[in-house]
Structure 1
Amino acid sequence: MTEHQKKAMIISVGGTTEPIVASICACGPEFISFLASQESCAKIPECLRDAKEKSGRLASFEQTLVDDVNDLVHCYGKAEEAVQRVLAKGYPGSEVMVDYTGGTKNMTAALTLAAVSHGFSFSYVGGRERTKEGLGIVKDGSEEVRRSLNPWDIMGIEARRDIALLFNQFQFTAAQERIAGLKGKNVRFPSRYEKLGFMVEGFQLWDLFRHSEAQQRFSRARLEELAELDDIFFRQPALATLKLLPFLQKLTEDKKKNPISLCLLDLYANAERRFQEGKIDDAVLRLYRVVEMAAQARLVTAWSIDTSNVDRTRIPETVRAEYIKRYAAPDGQIKISQAAAFRLLEALGDELGRTFSQHEQKFKNIQKARNDSYLAHGFQSIGQNAFQSLREFVLTLKLFDPADLPVFPRFDVAFSGTKETVGPGPGACNVATGAIVCCGW
C-alpha cells in the first residue's frame, strides 16, 4: 500500500460518477462507506463497476441514505452513521480517506464535521478544466484527486494544548491518555508523540518516587532526538528534561546508600507540586517527612547514628541514661522518634539540632495541625497557612539551597502566530498555529 492508498474510504455521492471513480482508483480501498441521497444512491453500483474496470479491484461497501438533503442536522446524523460503519470494522483513522467531493453542500459539510475529529485523511477531486468558463463542474477526464489536506494537523493544536495543560497540572496519567488517544489518528510524525508519552510517564514515575523506573522511561523517550527538532513543542521540554537527568541519576545512586541532601530536595519539590495542585494535606505530610528525614540523614552522615538502632556508645553522656531508659526495647535496641533525633543532634552540638531547638515551638504548633488532619489522626482539613508556616520552618533549617530544587518542565501555552504549511502539494493550506513554549516554574 502506497502513501496515498488507504484501506477504507467514506465518500459522499452526488450526481456525477467520474470524480468518485477517480478517487476510488487513486486510493484503492478494500471497503467503502457511501453517504448518498435517495436520488444519488443509484450512482453507487455504477461507480463501483467503473472503478473495477479501471483498477481491477472491487471494494466491499455499505451505504447510508440521507432523506432530507436540505436539513444540515439530519445530514450530520447520517454522516455520523457513515463514519461509524468504518470504525465498526476496526479501521484506524490513519487507514481511512474521506472524499467529500460529491453531494449537496449540506451533505459535504455534515460529512466533514462528523469525520474531522477521527484523524482521517481528506481528499477532494478538482480538475484542470471546468464547465461554464471555469465556474461549473469538472470536465470528464480532467479530474485531479487532491489528498494533501489533513484537518487533523490543524486540530492537533488542540491536542497539544490539552497535553500541555494536563502536564502543567501534574495530571500525568491524563496527559498520557491524551497522547495515547492520538494513536491511530492521522497525525504527522507519530513517533514524536510516542517519545513524548515516555517522557510524560517518566515524570509520573518520578512524582511517585519510582526513580529507577523514571530513568528507564526517559531513556526510551530518546530525549536527545526530541531536543534536536525544530518543533518547539517537543524540543523545549526535552531540553529541560535532559538538564534534570544528572540530578535523577545521582538521586537514584544516593538513595541506595542513605537519605541525604538530594532526597530532601526531591521530597521538598514533590511537596511544592502537591501544594500547586491544591492537595495541601498531602503537601504538609511531605514537608513533615522532610523534617524527619533531615534529622535521620544528619545523624547518619555526620555522626554515624541510625535512628532505628542507635549505638548507645555514641549518645553523649549528658543524655545517655535518659535515652536508654526512654527508648531502649527489651532486647536493648534503641529506636528514637523525630523529636528525640533532634534533641540528640542538639546534645551532640550539631547546628541542625540547635536551630530546631530555637524554633521548636513553632514546629509543635504546625505539628498539631498535621496531627488533626484527615490523613493523620483527626478530622480537620489543613489550611494554606499551615503549609506556608511549615515551608518557612523547613527553609529556616537550611537543609539545602532552594536554587538546587529539581524543577519539572512546564508548558506555557502561547500563540506565536507562526505560519505553518499543512501537507505538501496543491491541496496544502497555510494556517496560523499555536506554539507551545516550555519553561520552568
Structure 2
Amino acid sequence: MPRALVITVGTGRNRVDVATSIARNSIKVLNPDHILLLCTTLSAKETVPHLKEALPATWHERFEEPVCVDAADDLDRLFEHYREAVLSFMKRRRLAPEDTYADFTSGTKPMSSALVLVAVALGLGRLNYIAGERDREGRTMTGTERTMPIFPRRILYDQRLREFQQTFDLHQYGAAREILLPLRGEGTHEHQRTVEVLLHLNDFYAAWDRYDFDGAVKAKKALDDLEAPHEVLPPNIWSVYKKQRDLPGRMQSAPFDWMRLVDLLENARRRMGLHLYDDATARLYRAIEFLAQARLYHAHDIKTGDVDLDRVPENCREALLSHRNERSGKIQIPMLRAYELLAALQDDLGLTFMERYRDKKGTLQKYLNRRNESILAHGFVSVDRETAGALIEHLVELTRVVYPKLEETAQSVRFPRFSTAP
C-alpha cells in the first residue's frame, strides 16, 4: 500500500529553517509516496519553494497542490478545511488511514492542533512531531532535532472501547461489533487480545439474543479458547458470563425447558428498552403460547404439535380432530385451543388463562388481538408500549401459576452490562 504524509507548513524565522527541518526530519525519514502540504498563502509562496529545493528533483512529483487556508488562528475553520482536504487526498490516492501519516511540527498552534484533531478523528496511522533543543525564541535549534512519533489509533482505541461498551449495554450487538472491527489486528498484543475477547463475548450474546443457540455455543468455545479472557473482562461481566455460558447449549437440547420461556420474556424486555414494541410483542405472544405448550408437556405428557387423543378428555376430542394436519396426519393445536385443553383438564394455568381471556373487561383478549393486528403478525398497525407492557404483566402472572421460580430464572438469563448503574 502507498504511504502518504500530510504536513502543516509555517514560515519560521527565515523560511529556510522550517523547510530544511521538514525535508530532513520528516519527509526523508518517512519517505512517503504522496505528500499533502497544509499552508497559508504566505507559507505556500515563501516556504514551499525552499522545501522542494531541499529534496531531490525526482521527489517533486510526490507533492499534491498545497491546500491554503488563510485562517491561521481559527481552529474550527482549520479543522473543517483540513478534514475535507485529507479525506479528499485519501480518496484520490486510495490511501488507507493506517498508511496516512501527519506531521504537525510547523505552522501556528491552531494549525497544528487542527491537524492533530483530524488525525485522531480519522484514525490516521501516525503523527510526527520534531522535537529538539530550543533557542531563546522557543524555536527548535537546527541539528538538535529528533522525531517523536504519536499513534492516533491508540487514542481511537480507547474511544472505541468506550463506544463499544455503551452500545453493548444497549443490547445493540451488531453495531457494537462494527465499532470493534477496525481495531482488530491493531496496536499492542494486549490491545489485540482485548479486542478478540470482546468480539467473541459480543458474538456470544448477539447469537443468543437472536436465538441462534448453535452460534452462541460456537462463540462460547471461541471465547473460552482465548488466552485468559477473565483477565481482560471486568469482574462483573466475567462473573455473569461464567454462569451463563452453558445456558444456550442447555436450551438448545431441551425444547420445553422453562428457562426458554423466561428467556423469551427477558428478550422482550430488551426490545422494550429499545422501544421496539412490535418486536417485544411478537416475543411475548410466543412466550404465552410456549407457556401452554410447556405446561401440557410437563404436566400432562401432551405435545401440541402431535396431540394424543387418548390423553385428552373425551368431550374435547371432536373439537381437536378439526386440527388434524392433512399432510402429516398429526393433530396440531394453536395457542387458544391449547389453553382450552388445559382448562378441560382442570389445570390451574388453563383455568386462570380462560378466566382472564373471557372476563368482562377482556383485557388479555384485547391485547392478544392487538398483536394479531400488528404489522409483524397479520395486520398493518404498529404495537404501542401499552400493549407490550400489558402482555408482560399477563405473562408474568400466568407463569407464576405453574412456575414459581420465575424471578430467580429471569436473573440467571439476564444479559450483563459493562455499566453497573441500574
Give TM-score scaled by structure 1 length: 0.76
Do the aligned residues in 1 keep the contact of 2:370 with 2:383 (CA within 8 Å)?
yes
Q: 1:137-185 CA distances to partner (integer Å, 9 max, x unpaired)?
A: 22222112111x3344445454334333333333322222222344698
Shift of 1:369: 2.9
- Secondary structure of 2:174's aligned partner: helix
Q: How does 1:302-341 map to 2 (within 5 A)?
A: 302-324=299-321, 326-328=322-324, 333-341=330-338
Q: Which is bigger in relative contact order (C-alpha 8 A, separation at least 6)? A: 1
Higher strand share: 1
Does 2:42 correspond to 1:45? no
Q: What is the CA-CA distance between 1:124 and the residue it aligns to?
A: 0.9
Distance in 2 (CA, whole Å) between partners of 1:25 and 1:222 is 47
Within 1, Cα distance between the matches of 2:326 and 2:113?
A: 82
Structure 1 position 100, deviation (Å):
0.9
Matched letter for residue 108 of structure 1: S
Contact 2:78–2:110 (CA<8 Å) still a contact in 1?
no
2:38–2:68 CA contact under 8 A, matched in 1: no
**Residue 307 of structure 1, CA deviation:** 1.6
On the 8 A contact 1:31/1:59 being kept in 2, the answer is no
One-letter amino acid of the counterpart of residue 273, structure 1: R
Change (3 A) 1:61 1:280: same
Once the two structures are superposed, what CA deviation does each residue of 1:98-123 show, in whole Å capped at 9, x if it has no partner? 11112344543343333331222212
Match of 1:426?
A: none
Q: How does 1:57-206 map to 2 (within 5 A)?
A: 61-67=62-68, 69-71=70-72, 72=74, 73=77, 77=81, 80-82=84-86, 84-86=88-90, 88-120=92-124, 121-127=126-132, 129-132=133-136, 135-147=137-149, 149-182=150-183, 189-206=191-208
Equivalent residue for 1:293, pick from 290, 296, 321? 290
- Identical-pair percentage: 28
Contact 2:37 2:67 in 1 (8 A): no
- Which residue in 1 is equivalent to 2:37? 34
Q: 1-side partners of 2:364 and 2:69: how far apart?
A: 74
| Offset at residue 290 of structure 1 (A) | 0.9
- Once residues 204 and 216 of structure 1 are traced to their aligned partners in structure 2, the CA distance between those partners, rounded to angstroms, is 12
Q: Secondary structure at the match of 1:45?
A: helix
Q: Give the conservation status (yes or no) of the 8 Å contact 1:93–1:185.
A: no
1:13 to 9, 13, 17: 9
Residues 190, 33 of structure 1: alpha-carbon distance in 2 compared, 3 angstrom cutoff: farther
Q: Take 1:321 and 1:170, find their aligned partners in 2: how far apart are those partners?
A: 47
CA distance in 1, matches of 2:338, 2:349: 11
Task: Confirm or deny that 1:247 pairs with 2:211.
Answer: no
Q: Is the 8 A contact 1:131 1:138 kept in 2?
A: yes
Native 8 Å contact 2:119 2:127 kept in 1: no
Q: Judging changes above 3 Å, is the alpha-carbon distance between structure 1 residues 123 and 335 closer, same or farther for their aligned structure 2 residues?
A: same
1:369 partnered with 2:370: yes
Supply the distance in 2 between the matched residues of 1:80 and 1:383 (Cα, whole angstroms).
Answer: 43
Unpaired runs of 5+ in structure 2? none
> How many positions carry a matched residue from both structures?
395
What are the Cα deviations for residues 398-429 of structure 1, in whole angstroms up to 9, with x where unaligned? Answer: 245222121122232xxxxxxxxxxxxxxxxx
Which residue is 2:406 aligned to? Answer: 401
- Cα distance in 1 between the residues matched to 2:233 and 2:333: 54
The 3-state SS of whatever aligns with 2:248 is helix
**Equivalent residue for 1:276?**
273
1:389 CA drift (Å): 2.6
Q: In the alignment, is the contact (CA less than 8 A) between 1:93 and 1:186 conserved in 2?
A: no
Deviation at 1:226, TM superposition (A): 6.8
Give distance in 1, aligned partners of 2:55 and 2:353. Answer: 84
Change (3 A) 1:64 1:100: farther
CA RMSD of the aligned region, Å? 3.5
Q: What's 1:217 paired with?
A: 219
* Partners of 1:181 and 1:263 in 2: CA distance: 35
Offset of 1:225 from its aligned partner?
4.2
| Larger helix fraction of residues | 2
Structure 1 unmatched runs, 5+: 1-5, 53-57, 413-438
Contact 1:10 1:97 in 2 (8 A): yes
Structure 2: distance between partners of 1:66 and 1:333: 76
